[in-house]
């Protein structure tokens, strides 16, 4: 094995050991990392990969058969391109975008998994819908053809203490599951906080630098 293969295998094994007692999906986020790293991870048995930039997903997904997740900002002009490679979108926060996704999926006679992004602070620059908007938007989106609403996704703002933030997410998630029992999943937790997220009910965690090391750029 190469030095890089050993580095990745060791880090991946460490994360897998930490989360072994949780029933959660590990998504390895490969944004900024080369295709060669994705190939190493696939050889190690990783089956779920995440990208924040459509351009990287377009490049990597066709080269590595896997389940690919898009978690970056959804832009209307890029939706068709995102749907060409992404099996799951974690960052939907617009009924307009949901309707466009549905129209494309109807054309192509297929479906896609979706998480509705929750915002804890209502900052439009960070994306997401507020708790007050969440159920109303989910009602509309869950009825659109081609869209399989898995649940909610949240990236807590740094201004809120992590423990408080994830406790709030957990309470909202519980209410969401009661209202939408067919959509029970929670996408939350990244390299710095995935264990806290798991303790608060996360079913999908998105881990990049903890496994692959320092990114080349943010």
Please check whether the domain covering 3-212 is classified as CATH 3.40.309.10: no
pLDDT at position 170: 98
Output the pTM of the full model: 0.96
β-partners of residue 27 are: 206
The domain locations on the chain are 3-212
* Non-local CB neighbours of 103 within 8 Å, separated by 6+ positions: none
Distance CA 116, CA 90 (A): 7
pLDDT at position 100: 98
Answer for the pair 133, 117: CB distance below 8 angstroms, yes or no.
no
Burial of residue 165 (CB within 10 Å: 0-12, 13-18, 19+) is buried
Q: pLDDT tens digits, residue range 99-144?
A: 999 999 999 999 999 999 999 998 888 899 999 999 999 999 999 9
Answer for the pair 30, 212: CB distance below 8 angstroms, yes or no.
yes
* Residues of the chain with confidence (pLDDT) below 50: none
pLDDT at position 114: 98
């Amino acid at each position: 094995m190469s030095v890089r293969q050993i580095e990745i295998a060791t880090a991946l094994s460490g994360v897998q050991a930490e989360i072994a007692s949780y029933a959660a999906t590990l998504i390895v986020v490969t944004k900024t990392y080369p295709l060669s790293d994705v190939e190493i991870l696939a050889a190690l048995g990783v089956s779920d990969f995440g990208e924040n930039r459509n351009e990287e997903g377009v490049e990597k997904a066709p080269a590595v058969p896997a389940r690919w997740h898009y978690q970056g900002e959804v832009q209307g002009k890029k939706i068709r391109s995102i749907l060409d490679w992404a099996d799951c979108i974690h960052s939907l926060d617009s009924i307009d975008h949901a309707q466009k996704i549905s129209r494309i999926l109807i054309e192509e006679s297929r479906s896609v998994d979706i998480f509705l992004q929750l915002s804890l602070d209502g900052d439009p620059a960070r994306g997401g819908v507020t708790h007050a908007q969440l159920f109303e938007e989910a009602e509309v989106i869950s009825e659109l053809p081609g869209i399989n609403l898995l649940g909610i996704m949240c990236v807590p703002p740094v201004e809120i203490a992590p423990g408080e933030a994830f406790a709030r997410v957990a309470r909202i998630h519980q209410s969401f599951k009661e209202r939408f029992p067919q959509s029970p999943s929670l996408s939350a937790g990244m390299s710095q906080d995935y264990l806290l997220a798991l303790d608060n009910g996360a079913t999908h965690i998105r881990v990049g630098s903890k496994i692959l090391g320092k990114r080349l750029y943010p």
